[in-house]
Amino acid sequence: MKYNQLGSSDLNVSEICLGTMTFGEQNTEEEAHAQLDMAADYGVNFIDTAEMYPVAPRAETQGRTESYVGSWLKNQQRDKWIVATKITGPSRGFEWIRGGPRITKAHIETAIEDSLARLQTDYVDLYQIHWPDRYVPMFGSTSYDIHQAHEAIAIEEQLQALAGLVDTGKVRYIGLSNETPWGVSEFSRCAKVLGLPHIVSIQNAYHLMNRTFEAGLAEVCAHEKVGLLAYSPLAFGHLTGKYVDDPQAKGRVTQFPQFTQRYSKTNVAEAVQAYTQIARDAGLSPAQMALAFVRSRWFTASTIIGATTLEQLKENLESTDVVLTEEVLAQIEQVHQKYPNPAP
């Protein structure tokens, strides 16, 4: 397992991060612990969770994922693990979270205390804003609609509140998620002007069918020393090829169709078929090729993987042994030119 410096922090994170949003919905506590044990055996030192998890979000299960991670973490040597979690933003409802989540000082302080209690630790290494307090297009929406803009908590205020958590030792570093180039730039600018903690990471979707990060975000993150934590590298299982073989295969797409709108767009099926064929012609599993591609990008600090079975997890973890040839990379680029970003 290779380890990368996360942005401008002193965190050295494994190139594979274990995502946990299946814990508590698709996976039991025992299954969650088995996944964590396997990840540890392969050299993973980085766990990502969120107060909102598991997915699909429900009031009855909210916070269960952190609790499952916490019941495992309490029996580990804490300083050997880099633990990341996220505070829920507004714009998606979830009224059961603090009566309607916002990124205010009071909400931040309540959220971190609740997360620490569930995680059974007195600090997290990386605390991320799950999505902006302000309106931005996300989760399949790509065009900014000024008419959806709403009053938002000032970025300066958000940073000052997060700085308080860093000062008290409850949080080591801060990061963003589902952010835009403007958002990263503004958080960085405010941190410099006000002498507040700098963001070190951004957790955004990045995979073969969504390479939009490569434009504005890659540039700003390079200048501001912000590392990408790439989520959905397998595009909700599409890039494993299993839905090519069986459109009704068991997975998030068939279990939670309400979250798959970005994968029902024009040219998604054609792109999946093309990428699957490239992998199989090269003697690779489609999943391992997709993960190896994300891992090979210069801006990727860590690739977040998720699984519901140990068999899937093993295949994903072993993708670190795969190095894509120039021929395969050229074939991938040809498909990308033909079907650019069909699932942003």
- Please answer whether residues 129 and 90 qualify as being in contact, where contact means their C-beta atoms are separated by less than 8 angstroms: no
Q: How far apart are CA 314 and CA 46, in angstroms?
A: 16
> Which residues face 227 on adjacent strands?
201
In Å, how far are 16, 105, 147, 212, 304 from 231, measured between CA atoms? Answer: 11, 27, 29, 13, 5
For the chain, what's the residue count? 344
So which residues are the catalytic ones? 53
> Which residues face 18 on adjacent strands?
47, 305
In Å, how far are 55, 69, 112, 302 from 98, measured between CA atoms? Answer: 18, 22, 12, 30
Radius of gyration of the chain (CA): 19
For 221-252, letters b (16+ CB in 10 Å) and e give beebebbbbbbbbbbbbbbbbbbbeeeeeebb
Q: How far apart are CA 122 and CA 119, in angstroms?
A: 9
Q: How far apart are CA 223 and CA 204, in angstroms?
A: 17
Q: How far apart are CA 309 and CA 32, in angstroms?
A: 10
Collapsed DSSP state (helix, strand, coil) of residue 91: coil
Joined tokens for residue 264: 């029902």
